[in-house]
Amino acid sequence: MGRDRFTELQDYNGREDTAIEMGTFNSGGQVAGGGGYADYNAAGYPNGQFFHLLDTVKRDMQIIDDNIAQIARLHEQALAATGEASHRQISADRDQLVAQNNALVSRVKNNLDILAQTADDPNISKSQRVAQASRQQAEAKRFSELLQRYRQMEYQYSQRNRERLERQYRIARPDASDAEISEAIESNQAGQVFAQAVMHSNRIGEARRVLRDVEERQEDMRKIEKTMTELTEMFNEVADMVRQQQELIDTIESAVEDTHGNVEHGHKEVKQAIIYRIKARKKIWIFILLLIILIVIIVIIIYFTVIKKK
């Protein structure tokens, strides 16, 4: 394990959870654009600081969970919106919330990475390391489930958007094959394709409206695809983190069990040594007693054979 230590855990500075710099995910768990969340670096991980950061992670995950529900509601409103201005406002509100939520997701991932370093800290006992690593792993698993739910929600909205685009295309071109529809939706020029299809169906007056609607929903699908890709990458990273933590926990617990076994073995050896010592002392006292008896016998013999005869 590496010996390079993090610096002292910094205070949270009382930042409001809503005051988060908007940005997207990146591979380091940071938020693109920087800033906007507390950086925690640690050496020694005193329990107070560890649990303070752990509480921050729990609070952020609860906010993310609430945001996912709110984003889902905004997706529904965007699908149901009929007016251009209404759809644009709903989309703007949703995009802002998604950006804030993605920043929170990155912050949680970053803080879980920091908490994972507890298993590499020699300044605390093995039992503390196991306890802290287990708590970090439990929150990482919860975070993994949260990412999965977030990704599933975005996927469902993307599919509904796609189904809507398919219906629009079939109205414009009832004879279109599934392959043609799929190609039109996936094409970067889908908007023009849809507009042309409308014009070919002698509904030129709808061409501009259809073009705007298709382009907006096509843009929604691109944003969702990007978010889903980033969520998948982060989900895999968190899964690796959980697996590595389990390996570390198993290693530490194995070492603790070995130490406990050595202590038990040593205790047995000490007890055996005490027994041997007691037996040795008993033999010494028996020898002394026999020696005294022998001396007494010799003295008696001398008394009756030598002294009394005189």
Q: What is the pLDDT of residue 46?
A: 54
195 Cα distance to chain centroid: 46
Tell me whether residue 128 is in a domain. Answer: yes
Q: Distance between CA atoms of 37 and 48, rounded to whole angstroms? A: 20
Residues of the chain with pLDDT under 70: 1-47, 118-120, 172, 188-211, 252-269, 306-310
| 174 part of a folded domain | yes
Containing structural domain, residue 251: 47-266
What digits encode the pLDDT tens for the residues 215-252?
Answer: 777 788 888 888 888 898 988 988 888 888 777 777 76
Indicate whether 1 belongs to any domain.
no
**Exposed / middle / buried, residue 38 (Cβ in 10 Å: 0-12, 13-18, 19+):** middle
Asked if residue 37 belongs to a domain, the reply is no
In a domain, 291, yes or no: no
| pLDDT at site 96 | 94
- Say what the alpha-carbon torsion angle 35, 41, 46, 51 is, to the nearest 10 degrees: 40
| Domains in the chain, number | 1
Helix (H) or strand (E) holding 149: helix 126-172
Give me the CATH number covering residue 87. 1.20.58.70
Q: Is the four-CA dihedral 51, 54, 59, 62 of positive or negative sign?
A: negative
If one counts every other C-beta atom within 10 angstroms of the C-beta of residue 219, the result is 13
* Residue 289, φ and ψ in degrees, nearest 5: -65, -45
pLDDT in tens, 59-104: 999 999 999 999 999 999 988 887 778 888 998 999 999 999 999 9
Query: What pLDDT score does 191 carry?
Result: 63
Tokens representing 127?
């039992």
Tokens of 6: 């993090």
Whether residue 257 is contained in a domain is answered as yes
Is pTM beyond 0.85? Reply is no
185 found inside a domain: yes
Residue 233 and residue 235: Cα distance in Å, rounded?
Answer: 5
Tell me what pLDDT residue 260 has.
55
Q: Which residues pair with 31 in a beta bridge?
A: 25
pLDDT for the residue numbered 1: 40
Establish if 2 belongs to a structural domain.
Answer: no
